[in-house]
A and B are shown apart, each in its own frame.
Chain A
Amino acid sequence: MAATDTAVRIPEITAHRVEPEPTGWVSWVTTTDHKRIGILYLVTTFVFFILGGVEALLMRVQLGAPDNTFLTPATYNALFTLHGTTMIFLFVVPIMAGFGNYFLPLMIGARDMAFPKLNALSYWLLLFGGIVFYGSLFFSPPEAGWTSYAPLSGSAYSSNGGIDAWIYLIHLTGISSLVGAINFYATIANMRAPGMGWGRLPLFVWSLLVYAVLLILALPVIAGAVTLLLTDRHFGTGFFDQGLGGDPLLWQHLFWFFGHPEVYIMILPGFGIISEVLPVFARKPIFGYKAIAAATVVIAFLALLVWAHHMFSTPSATIVLVFFMISSFLIAIPTGVKIFNWVATLWRGTVEFKTPLIFAVGFISVFLIGGITGVFLAVFPVDWQLTDTYFVVAHLHYVLVGGSVFAIFAGIYYWFPKMTGRMLSESIGKWSFALMYIGFNVTFLIQHSIGLDGMPRRVYEYPDIGNLGLYNLISTIGSFILALGIGLTVLNVVRSYRKGIKAGPDPWKANTLEWFTPSPPPVNNFDVIPRVRSVEPMKDIRRQVARQAGAGAELPPAPRH
């Protein structure tokens, strides 16, 4: 590939600016700096995370007691639609793009993304997609769930504009993600530091590469599907209308052909964060770098072949069910390999219990449960009992909250010092983790039992039968503990931004190039781009500095570039 040991010119942005740099809010609106765009992404998506969380709490209050009347059915249906859509399209997917924006160029030794202006476009499309979607709150929010199954989402059953706002959101955030994905791909392919071959790419960057490819493959399918839905709704076509020769199942196939890769789009960058954090705090190289990178690619490939496991209860021939059971089994293998590699990374290390590590370990311990329940759901006869119940709700939250969200929090605690130059409080961080971990498990572990007891998902009320009332109350209490834990981190961020301990360039003694720059990094990131000689370039640099300091403190020779 491009960067080998021969001297390759790194594409650089040369600025000849004469007018004064904009300051204040104008500087944020007009910025094309990947770090500022990254921060815009992170802050915006976190605001949506809080909105989605409030929606979840409202639902949990409604479900805290049997036959509750706190919310109307219409409000409840709108809430779970908003919650699912927000968390997926406005939080987990774009916050990974936020981390990617900020750290991808830094980690590969580049001075910006390949297309800085497109990068800004990605952000603004995301923001406006979110605003229009939430604008529907003032008219008529969508009520058909984040999956918007036809015919329920058709004009006959959802005549108001809520579904149209949802379609608009899918289109705008979709274009945003597509543009961003192409940008990531181009940046990784072309702008790596000298010496950074594919075998020396940080694992977080590997995960972003695969994230980008999956987005490019999956997003056009959902964009096409919602366009068909739009023409069905407004222009008299019948793609999903069996009365006009269409088929409601076509929607399910198209949706899940996008929807399942989307699951991995949401989790793979989280895997990448974990693979960065663990070796730093175990003070030990990642165990099986190649296996983890390869597993990421294999997961992405298989992710395109498992979509109908969301449709096991639709009219299906046995051979189809068997195919999708086997393909879903297969995807468990590379996922399991990653978990084993992470545990082996801790093995015989010297584990430092800093907050990022604790979140990463919390991630492994709960993501494992999500992975295991995924195997239950892959066995289609068992899935017939579990699908569309609270068991699935529990499973997907173990994957997306226990998985993605814990990884995101590990990332926040790990990279906050780089982004702001200040450390987050360790004690608040640990309390935040403790509350989140307990709250999360109290909320969602019991939901497996709620589902096994026969409670379907997406119901605004349930009868007072058996232990359903008690179980749901436990879950509701847990959700508030979880919210408190998240609130502590918000507090920590706000407080530490001004008052945190100064971090310095490399507070964790980490492995990757972002720690080579000052904290926060200057606009051009690197004055000199170091030559990369291993998968842990910062270890090499620290060793070199120590050697030279010991040998009589000469300045290090300027690295070639």
Chain B
Amino acid sequence: MNRMPAALAAVRPQTQHRIFALTLLAALAGMLALATGASADVLTPESGGSPQADSIDTLYKIILAVAVVVFVGVEGTLVYSLVRFRARKDAVPAQIRGNTRLEVGWTVGAAVILVVLAVVTFVMLDGIRNPPNSDADGFPTAVVENVSDASAFQPRTPNGRALNILVNGQRYAWRYTYPDADDNTLNNVFSYEEMVVPTKTTVTLEIVAQDVAHSWWIPQLGGKFDAVPGHKNFTWFKIPKPGVYRGQCAELCGRNHADMVARVRAVEPAQFKTWLQTKKRQIEAADELAARVRKQIDTPPPKGTE
């Protein structure tokens, strides 16, 4: 690129050339500044919360490396052609109509690059799609039942065990229902907005929507999975260390779509157990209070007090 100003000096002082070259230079300089001056996350997705997010990040970086080579190659040839073959007094354009060998070559070349990217994707897919078992010191979990939705893929750990949380998207909040030992789903622990989970434990999510479509997304824990009414979608994560991970609904769901936020708070398994018990007591207490109030309302008032 250093050669360009020198090459420009040789051009007859035509403003049109200069404007164009300056435009290109400005754009290229801008791109370079962006590429070098900024931190790593300007160019790569969020990661660091869960193995699958890290795998996606790696896959992305591989594609980025290939992309940079293609980009520099094509843009370089383009800029070179424009500078080298600009109209000059004595220049005669070559009347070439094509070159079969060259054209077959770059078609095959493009195909080979894509085959390589496909193979890399397949190699990494298992680690992204399928969750590992929980660590030995993780939160004890039960075997997750198979859910029937023919269209979807349900991730399963090798030993079948995971903490399976039901995620329900509704305008404009996320509701999380935790599993418990009995078949009654009405007395389960639940929470809104903030999902508390144990570290070192594989968490699988069953994602549903009860009104319009939403999309579950915590960038540092992996990709998006749409919550579509009438369907079940699935994903998983396994967080090694305590921390808070933020995200928000990623599918337009109405006027307050921007405010439909979600948080995942990872705590040590022992702490999680305590949280679960506390939450259960709070919900039971609230239920009892509600039952009392309901009874009061339902009881007909004594005569003469109306």
A residues lining the B interface (CB < 8 Å):
73-74, 77, 143-145, 149, 151-152, 157, 242, 247-249, 282-291, 313-318, 322, 325-326, 329-330, 332-333, 336-337, 339-341, 343-344, 346-353, 358, 361, 364-365, 368-369, 372, 375-376, 379-389, 426-427, 430-431, 433-434, 437-438, 441-442, 445-446, 449, 452-454, 456, 458-462, 467
Contact = CB atoms under 8 A, between A and B. Distances in A.
Nearest to B83: A351
Contacts of A242: 229-231
Interface in B209-238: 211-213, 215, 217, 219, 222-226, 228-234
A384 B223 CA distance: 4
Given A291-B98, A346-B81, A315 B231 contact: yes
Interface string B18-53: 011011101100110010001001111110000001
Contacts of A434: 19-20, 22-23
Contact of A349 (B26, B77, B85, B212): B85
Contact of A445 (B34, B124, B248): B34
Interface in B167-217: 211-213, 215, 217
A143 B34 CA distance: 35
Contact of B96 (A249, A287, A389): A287
Task: Select the residue from A77, A337, A347, A352 with max chain B CB neighbours within 10 A.
Answer: A347
Given A347-B85, A375-B63, A452-B46, A313 B215 contact: yes
A366 B253 CA distance: 32
13 contacts: A247-B230, A286-B97, A290-B98, A313-B223, A314-B226, A337-B110, A341-B103, A349-B81, A351-B87, A368-B71, A383-B223, A437-B23, A438-B23
Given A77-B255, A287-B99, A458-B252, 9 more contacts: A242-B230, A248-B229, A283-B87, A348-B93, A348-B96, A384-B223, A449-B38, A452-B44, A459-B257
> What interface size band does chain B fall in?
35 or more
Nearest to A354: B16
A358 B21 CA distance: 10
Given A77-B255, A346-B82, A289 B97 contact: yes
Contacts of A341: 103
Interface of A is mostly: helix
Given A151-B212, A313-B223, A351-B87, A452 B41 contact: yes
A381 B124 contact: yes
Nearest to B14: A353
A196 to B, nearest CB: 18
Contacts of B27: 365, 437-438, 441
Contact of B85 (A288, A322, A351, A427): A351
A339 B74 CA distance: 9
A247 B87 CA distance: 60
A324 B42 CA distance: 28
A286 to B, nearest CB: 8
B293 interface: no
B45 A315 contact: no
B155 to A, nearest CB: 10
B149 interface: yes
Given A368-B75, A389-B250, A285 B223 contact: no
B59 A157 contact: no
Interface in B115-166: 117-118, 121-122, 124-125, 128-129, 149, 151-153
A438 B59 CA distance: 31
Contact of B222 (A344, A365, A376, A384): A384
B251 interface: yes
A45 B215 CA distance: 35
Contact of B153 (A316, A350, A386): A316
A369 B71 contact: yes
Contacts of B257: 73, 77, 458-459
Nearest to B30: A441
B114 interface: yes
A325 B125 CA distance: 13
Given A438-B23, A456-B250, A460-B258, A353 B16 contact: yes
